[in-house]
Structure 1
């Protein structure tokens, strides 16, 4: 029998239900016509509480500072290490509620709320992901709950694993709209309808990044549409109906990384954990591990992060990347408290353009002014992959990988053959994927040589992807992304939008690749949804994942 008290999830039951109130609905209203962001009500008559921490990650023994705004008279703080066996590590039952207004530019400059609590982490606290749950009771007996998180880094004393998991927090930040904006939409600009190129980390996370109820829809056309069906975006419909962030399905612990952690722990793989901010500022953390892994939606990196990863691999490290969408360069400022990415507007708006720091321009890695293909680091590129199996992006397309090199060690023990498809029933090939420009010789795919792309890349498996939504018309058809990303990336890469450029980049692929670099190696399964093969029990995806992790954590032969 365990001496640990039984864990009861703070999220049990019905939470965050607003008072019922009728309002008119107009015939032209739609989730896409009224984009929403999360912000506190600020109504002193309705109890709620929001909390964030002064940093994203800590060492054992560090002090965590919690900043909060509450309209409740009293509220509760609970912190638990999330995973297969969650463990409550800190609770405070009756913190005084202090209300502080949320600045109108909180998304850019932070909330600057007062300190509500301080906690010094135990010196032996294990590395991992720690959910921060703030909750309060409402007058009608209902509960309000808000989630935040922090990561505890491994130290020489607390390190337990051979695998270091790097959370793609640059991508999480890019999609966090709390307070008014993210890198995709917001209240910037004269008409208050533009995204913000500058995002603060001194604010809460929008609802859905840290916690989701089971069954929240994913970005995959499920079920696949029948002929004549209007396009649907179930994740947007669900978010709009249930009060979650409109981009909850695109990034975050709850949607991606947590599924991998639960599977890995069940399989007996110990994991230590850091954030991308740690990779940027403390790259030496990688050196103690034979294997590092990155999961899910992995879209935003700094120059320094890439340099650190390539140095690690060249020195003999192994990178297992079960994720995709390696696309944008970002900058971290103010000791990691601020993230910058101008994206499609970088050439016109980024203040470092034309300076001696121009290589750090926050545009696509394949931008004609940067030209450091993602394949140099992870074996694949974002601009040659992109979307699959949702909306107008091949919604009835292939949802698994086609095998082309079954003799590769990654497929050992699977019994897979040339041209077999795996993971299709579990929808592992969906949302966003990465690929390469390629050609076929004798029935096998080979990368087209590109400057800066390692010559050792082998394409093991692949499937088609597309950069713009096809838009067949039908009754009531409405599309979402359309061709905006297609045109924006073509302009970044080539300098102008031309029919030739659009044709060149419209169709791509998602790939599973292996490459060596220096003394190390990289294996990338370049789809955001790889984790669904693990969660949904696909034996092929699970065996391949074990093959990769076992090889990458095994001692090297002399």
Structure 2
């Protein structure tokens, strides 16, 4: 579905009361277009981006701000279990800065508003920029938020973990300015998605900060009767003026809850942007443990190479995240990213000269670099559980198979036990492998890149197709389109058979463990693992501690 700019502006006339125009257009109900574009005449609002995502102590952070109110109070604070204020500015004069054509691709090009000289002793971590109307004296909600990261130039403690924020996935879902890698106003691609995105624009509303009652992508309980699919986070977002994909990717939904849990549990958490794995690979050199959480879908080949080299020389990686799916390429200097996704074979300009770097599935035979070679699991072998109209009544927990594995120490779990289901940790998007059963235990076949010696500790099943009652099909988000796409890529045919489509509708999600070089990787391949930490699920908490303690305390 596409909408011209004229149609979009006309359709947005009734949406001017929100801080951002909720541009919409005609089309199927489930594909109604709704993206963020700043509105000068909407409710009071402020937007900000920085010249980079990550900085070292002593460097200068440049902030570019636009606002519908003339003066702002701006606070920069280190986020976490106990937030700490770094600096405050009051009564900062700010103009409303217009956006150029296609800001999602070209960037905003705003004038610099204010700069921050980072102290040499600044603590490593994630820093939130909070903007408020100066006239409100701090009594009203903030008008906008931004985030940047500060790398460490100091020694680590014996309980320091380095969290790599999944900023490339955040960027893919960021529709600020009119388009994301999914949907928008770019008239040249299906559903208006943009294969080229700029980092020089604000994050969509809800990606950095959310109220405590914001729903997640997966409902808390399973339906008791057959019913139409329901995606409460989108309805809540539309009703409250937040971005349509706030629950799919962002600091507020995934990384922040992990940092709060980890710091409360006694771990020292440093944070970097994912782009640093390619642009500043030396940033991870001093650490023994890298952590990934939440929705971790978009990666470049150099980022993977950095992680693999880290593990080869003795590093450990804890991945509490799901959906390792698309290859991207960073734009020059990290100014954005490129991903043609399902259109890559037809439109990616690099597809002929260097197909290995084509921005398609990692499992695409033309790319030939399955995600399992890095993290032990593949995105196309898993995908959805308990979301859209897919597996709505799945158990939402992991089934235990190798109960003697070290990650399950002190849990009391045995073969055939399930854990995490009460907190719905096995949900949204998951990764799996081609596998078989031997004497009641799942074993990887090795056909899709699984490393030798990999153990499947626990698993559950997922799907790529929506089923249910025929009268509910109008409400489907996916149907079997994704299964057909995966089948077309992996079976190397533009028209997969019904049997092939059904085959790739069947997936799995896995908790795996394996060694590489003198290092080690543990992967609990589900986006919603962090939900178990949020809801204080004993088993999720205990397993997470087992992994982190083994990885940060062992020399």
TM-score under structure 2 length normalisation: 0.92
Structure 1 residue 379 corresponds to structure 2 residue 376: yes
Judged with a 3 Å threshold, the aligned counterparts in structure 2 of structure 1 residues 190 and 79 are, in CA distance, closer, same or farther, namely: same
Any conservation in 2 of the 1:105–1:180 contact (CA below 8 Å)? yes
Say if 1:477 and 1:278 are closer, same or farther in 2 by CA, change over 3 A.
same
Partner of 1:104: 101
Deviations 1:110-147 (A, max 9, x none): 000111101101111111111111222689x9666111
Q: Hey, what does 1:453 align to over in structure 2?
A: 450
Matched residue, 1:86: 83
Deviation at 1:358, TM superposition (A): 2.2
The question of 1:419 aligning with 2:416 is answered: yes
Per the alignment, residue 23 of structure 1 pairs with: none
The yes-or-no answer on 1:492 pairing with 2:492 is: no
Aligned position for 1:42? 40
Please state whether the residue corresponding to 2:285 is helix, strand or coil.
helix
Asked whether the equivalents of residues 377 and 433 of structure 2 are also in contact (C-alpha less than 8 Å), the reply is: yes
| Residue 304 (structure 1) aligned to one of 302, 305, 324 | 302
Match of 2:475 in 1: 478
Output the CA distance in 1 between the equivalents of 2:107 and 2:217.
30
Q: Give yes or no for contact 1:126–1:158 (8 Å, CA) kept in 2.
A: no
- Matches for 1:45-444 after TM superposition, within 5 Å: 47-136=44-133, 145-156=143-154, 162-189=160-187, 193-355=191-353, 357-444=354-441
Distance 1:51 1:234, change over 3 A: same
Aligned to 1:545: 544
**CA offsets 1:38-69 (integer angstroms, 9 cap, x no match):** 121023x8643221111101011110111122
Which region of structure 1 is more displaced relative to structure 2, 130-139 or 236-245? Answer: 130-139
Q: Is the 8 A contact 1:221 1:395 kept in 2?
A: no
Conservation of the 8 A alpha-carbon contact between 1:490 and 1:505: yes
Deviations 1:75-115 (A, max 9, x none): 22111111000111111111112222112310001000111
CA distance in 1, matches of 2:190, 2:550: 51
Residue 391 (structure 1) shift: 2.4
Describe the superposition over 1:399-421 as per-residue Cα deviations: whole angstroms up to 9, x where unpaired: 10000000111111111010000
* Residues 31 and 237 in structure 1, CA contact (< 8 A), matched pair in contact too: no
CA–CA distance in structure 1, aligned partners of residues 82 and 116 of structure 2: 23
Please give the TM-score of this superposition, normalised by the length of structure 1: 0.91
Asked if the contact 2:157/2:268 (under 8 Å) is kept, the reply is no
- CA distance in structure 1 between the partners assigned to 2:427 and 2:548 by the alignment: 23
Larger mean CA deviation between 500-509 and 383-392 belongs to 500-509
Instruction: For 2:193 and 2:487, locate their aligned partners in 1 and report how far apart those are by CA, in whole Å.
Output: 20
Distance 1:39 1:485 in 2: 29
Q: Which runs of 5+ in 1 are unaligned?
A: 1-16, 21-25
Q: Once the 2 structures are TM-superposed, how far is the Cα of residue 189 of structure 1 from its aligned partner? A: 1.6
How many angstroms does 1:451 deviate by? 5.9
Q: Deviations over 1:503-557 (max 9, x none)?
A: 321101110000111111100001111111111111111111111111111233x
Closer, same or farther: CA 478–19 of 1 in aligned 2, 3 Å: closer
Partner of 2:508, secondary structure, is strand
RMSD between aligned alpha carbons? 2.3
CA distance in 1, matches of 2:392, 2:135: 43
Summarize the Cα distance change of 1:485–1:258 in structure 2 as closer, same or farther, 3 Å threshold: same
Q: CA deviation at 1:161?
A: 5.3
State which drifts further: 91-100 or 488-497.
Answer: 488-497
Counterpart CA distance in 2 for 1:515 and 1:216 is 36
Q: Is the 8 A contact 2:73 2:134 kept in 1?
A: no
Task: Give me the whole-angstrom Cα distance separating, in 1, the residues matched to 2:476 and 2:135.
Answer: 40
Deviation at 1:474, TM superposition (A): 3.1
The 1:41/1:313 distance shift into structure 2, 3 A limit, reads same
Aligned residues: 532
1:541 aligns to what SS in structure 2? helix
Change (3 A) 1:19 1:240: closer
2:502 matches 1:512? no
**What is the distance in 2 between the residues matched to 1:105 and 1:209?**
20
Q: Larger deviation: 192-201 or 253-262?
A: 192-201
Contact persistence 1:136–1:143 (CA under 8 A)? no
Q: CA deviation at 1:492?
A: 2.6
Structure 1's 374 and 112: CA in aligned 2 closer, same or farther, altered over 3 A? same
Q: Equivalents in 1 of 2:190, 2:507: separation in Å? A: 34
Structure 1 residue 491: Cα displacement: 2.1
CA distance in 2, matches of 1:467, 1:157: 45
Determine the C-alpha separation between the residues in 2 that align with 1:372 and 1:307.
11
Rounded Cα–Cα distance in structure 1 between residues aligned with 2:130 and 2:299: 28
Distance 2:281 2:356 in 1: 20
Which deviates the most, 298-307 or 448-457? 448-457
The structure with the largest helix share of the pair is 2
Shift of 1:436: 0.4
Q: Please list the CA deviations of residues 193-248 of structure 1 after superposition, one character each: whole Å capped at 9, or x if unmatched.
A: 41000000000000111011112111213332122322211111111111111001
Asked if structure 2 preserves the Cα contact closer than 8 Å seen for 1:129 and 1:151, the reply is: yes
Question: Deviation at 1:486?
Answer: 1.8
Distance (whole Å) between structure 2 residues aligned to residue 554 and residue 52 of structure 1: 37
